[in-house]
Amino acid sequence: MIKLADFVKQRRKEANLTQAAFAERAGVALTVIRKIEQGKENLNLEKVNQVLKMFGHILAPVNARELVTSKQ
């Protein structure tokens, strides 16, 4: 499974965008993009989803029990 930081960085580079240009297009502060790409743990889910929507994705809470039953 790819980490959020790696996913965002890879997709941003594939789009040939700087962090600043990507932040502007996503409608978030440059610091948000930097924190995501640095793998910071204390992120605002709303801001992360604003960034991920640029790639057609979102993050949502998952019940741990659902993960266990889906693997069986």
Whether residue 71 has pLDDT greater than 60: no
Q: Which pLDDT score, from 0 to 100, does residue 72 have? A: 56
**Three-class secondary structure of residue 12 per DSSP:** helix
User: What is the residue whose two structure tokens read 């610091």?
Assistant: 31
Tally helices (H) and strands (E) across the chain: 5, 0
pTM, full prediction: 0.81
Confirm if 25 and 17 have CB atoms less than 8 A apart: yes
Digit-coded pLDDT (tens) for 2-55: 899 999 999 999 999 999 999 999 999 999 999 999 999 999 999 999 999 999
Q: What is the CATH number of domain 4-71?
A: 1.10.260.40
Q: Which pLDDT score, from 0 to 100, does residue 70 have? A: 58
